[in-house]
Structure 1
Amino acid sequence: MSLTLLAPEKMLEVIPGEVTIKGTVDTLLNKGMSIRGYRFYKTEVDIPSMRDYELVRWKKGTANLGFHDGSRWRKNAVQANDVTILTRGESSRWYWMNDIEVSHIYISQALMAKVASEIFHKNIDRVFVDHYPIVNDPALSALMGRYEAEVLSEEPGSDLFSQSLEVQLCIHLMRKYIKCDGQEETASRISSARLDALQRYIVTHLSGAISVKDMAAIVDLSPSHFVRVFATVFGVSPHQYVQAQRLKRAERLLSTLRNVPLKAVAMDCGFADQSHMTRLFKERLLMTPKEYRDKHAFSLFGSLTVQ
């Protein structure tokens, strides 16, 4: 595996849909903030860990938006001008039951760090943004709408106005949604003892939800700092590592427990459901769990076909 963070220009490779507003994603690849509009089709999707922070402004909502919080699905009704906030470095899972129209604003780590340092005198490694599936925040939505209008405008001064709105957006996020860790974090790596404790924690908690915050607490780091250090140590994101451990457990169970239903295997390994396990098996092993079991399973008492 390799550490792969989803860049804004790759969004349609993950979510089926089309671009409605070209925006600045392609022209501002190395800038602090960019924007693009989309129409996404009805789907269920696993969104990989993002490279940037992402703000979603809903233009056409849905009465049935699902967000998986790590343990269960949470259903939401979304209205136009509602906002979704996604942190960087942590994956998420969603479904929506009709086509939706949204605009995305992508904020780089560098810009957030600059504002955190200059305005709030904070180290960005000591702050963390949770996923916020839906927030009703008229001020944030208005800032996003104004930013979109200025970025697309050809009026004199629009560039300067857009830059000021970028700072305002970051300030608003830090005031309302970013959590600060009070600890000083100078460690650049995870000690062997804490690394062992972390790996034991992951293995013993695979059947349940394992969040970045939970793992970070084991090694006494803030979530954002933990994500960077973890990638340095393991070469993959925390989510990718946990996902790989779930797959390993599933492979072991499917190879040794032929009479256990696939749904039970998925639950024991911490997958959201059997279909989630099946998708990952197809992606990583190019076969379904049933095909894997048929190829590898054995039984001391003969074969028992499980549907």
Structure 2
Amino acid sequence: MSLILLAPEKMLDVIPGEVTIKGTVETGPNNGMSIRGYRFYKTEVDIPCMRDYELVRWKKGTSNLGFHDGSRWQKNAVHDDDVTILTRGESSRWYWMNDIEVSHIYISQALMAKVAGEVFQKDIDRIFVDHYPIVNDATLSRLMDTYEAESLSKEPGSGLFAQSLEIQLCIHLIRKYIRCGVRDEAISRISKSRLDTLQLYITTHLAGTISVKDMAAIVDLSPSHFVRVFGSIFGVSPHQYVQAQRLKRAERLLSTLHDVPLKAVAMDCGFADQSHMTRLFKEKLSMTPKEYREKSTFGLFCSLTVQ
């Protein structure tokens, strides 16, 4: 699969034609849904992997639409209000024997996954959908037509109406055309090798920013699922764990580097500033970093364990 995904605003770079309805492709958020209308000229075209899922509502069809399924050409007659569904991340090959008029609705992976998660009330591992050259789905076509009208409308409440239609469109697709892989929390744990990699990452990046998103990516979990699994393993949140590791590092530095300024210790351990380090020392160890260093220098204790 190509690493360069085709964004909606680049569609005419691939398919010869013109925009008939400017729509919301350039004004809407990349993590939502957008619409644009086109007139495409007679052509044969290879469409590269797309960034978004795409719904095509046919306004002027063709008696000869060709779709290559990987082994042979499928020929279809397309009528007004028929719908084509294209998945993201997979290339496709097409031809049509006359100029056509269509409207495209682009649905981001983020929006589809969000709605799927709310539908199933679980973390969604993967979303599976195939290319559908033609579907005769009156409900889907009607939803697309209404969404187009509300997206272009200046009437009061049109924005809210369009947002509700976005959810309805996603739910309809999930019910009829999309298969969702629901993550099984009972078996989705962090393997020892990945856990070791994660802990090494944390200890070697304490001086910088360590986000939940970055940690989750290392162990191949969604951020929300990672937080739950991490808590079940360590008994604390990822944030609390990272803070504890920073305090342990600060203890070690204060015990061995007696001439390094406290400000430099705070920076090396990833605290926002010296006062931030001081607040956490008081909270966890009931003393300031300066007091800790002084007691360590005189050998009043060997080590304090941060929980």
How many positions carry a matched residue from both structures? 191
Mean CA deviation greater in 119-128 or 151-160 = 119-128
Whole-Å separation in 2 of the counterparts to 1:187 and 1:90: 30
1:11 match: 11
The secondary structure found in structure 2 opposite 1:71 is: coil
**In 1: Cα distance, 2:83 partner to 2:136 partner:** 6
Task: Quickly say closer, same or farther: Cα 1:65–1:141, change in 2 above 3 A.
Answer: same
Measured in 1, the distance between the counterparts of 2:124 and 2:56 equals 22
Output the aligned Cα RMSD.
2.4
* Native 8 Å contact 1:53 1:86 kept in 2: yes
**Match of 2:86, as an amino acid?**
L
Cα 1:18–1:187 shift into 2, 3 Å: farther
Matched letter for residue 86 of structure 1: L
After the TM superposition, which residues 270-289 of structure 1 pair with which residues of structure 2 at under 5 Å, given as runs? Answer: none
Could you tell me the percent identity over the aligned residues? 80
Amino acid paired to 2:142: A
Distance in 2 separating the partners of 1:4 and 1:115: 25
In structure 1, give the amino acid aligned to 2:100: I
What do the CA deviations read for 1:3-60 (whole angstroms, capped 9, x no partner)? 1000000000000000000000011143400000000000000000000000000000
The Cα of 1:182 is off from its aligned counterpart by 6.4
Separation in 2, partners of 1:97, 1:2: 28
Distance 2:44 2:133 in 1: 15
Structure 2 counterpart of 1:115, which letter? V
For 1:142, what is the secondary structure of its paired residue?
helix
Please give the alpha-carbon distance, in whole angstroms, between the structure 2 residues aligned to 1:175 and 1:22. Answer: 30
Change (3 A) 1:27 1:183: closer
Corresponding residue for 1:128?
128
**2:109 is equivalent to residue 109 of structure 1:** yes
Find the counterpart in structure 2 of residue 74 from structure 1: 74
Q: Pairwise mapping of residues 125-274 of structure 1 onto structure 2 (< 5 A)?
A: 125-181=125-181, 184=184
8 Å contact 2:9–2:26 — kept in the other structure?
Answer: yes
TM-score (norm 1): 0.59
Q: What amino acid maps onto 2:30 in structure 1?
A: N
Paired AA for residue 22 in structure 1? K
Question: Does the 8 A contact of 1:112 with 1:124 survive in 2?
Answer: no
Q: What's the CA shift string for 1:64-88, capped at 9, x where partnerless? A: 0000000000000000000000000
1:26 maps to: 26
Corresponding residue of 1:62: 62
| TM-superposed deviation, 1:122 | 4.5
Q: Following TM superposition, by how much is the alpha carbon of 1:121 offset from its aligned partner in structure 2, in angstroms?
A: 2.5
SS in 2 for 1:116: helix
SS in 1 for 2:64: strand
Distance in 1 of aligned mates of 2:76 and 2:189: 40
Residue 162 (structure 1) shift: 0.3
Instruction: Give a deviation string over 1:92-140, Cα, whole Å, max 9, x none.
Output: 0000000000000000011001101112225443330111010000000
The amino acid that maps onto 1:61 is G
CA distance in 1, matches of 2:5, 2:117: 24
Tell whether the 8 Å contact from 2:43 to 2:95 is kept in structure 1 after alignment: yes
Summarize the Cα distance change of 1:124–1:100 in structure 2 as closer, same or farther, 3 Å threshold: farther
Once residues 122 and 129 of structure 2 are traced to their aligned partners in structure 1, the CA distance between those partners, rounded to angstroms, is 14
5+ residue gaps, structure 2? 191-221, 223-307
* Contact 2:127–2:180 (8 Å) recurs in 1: yes
Distance in 1 (alpha carbons) for counterparts of 2:98 and 2:2: 33
**Structure with the greater alpha carbon radius of gyration:** 2
Residues 35, 104 of structure 1: 8 Å contact kept: yes
* Secondary structure at 2:6 match in 1: coil
For residue 88 of structure 1, what is the amino acid of its counterpart?
Answer: R
Q: Is the 8 A contact 1:21 1:37 kept in 2?
A: yes
User: TM-score scaled by structure 2?
Assistant: 0.59
Q: Secondary structure at the match of 2:4?
A: coil
Deviations 1:222-271 (A, max 9, x none): xxx9xxxxxxxxxxxxxxxxxxxxxxxxxxxxxxxxxxxxxxxxxxxxxx
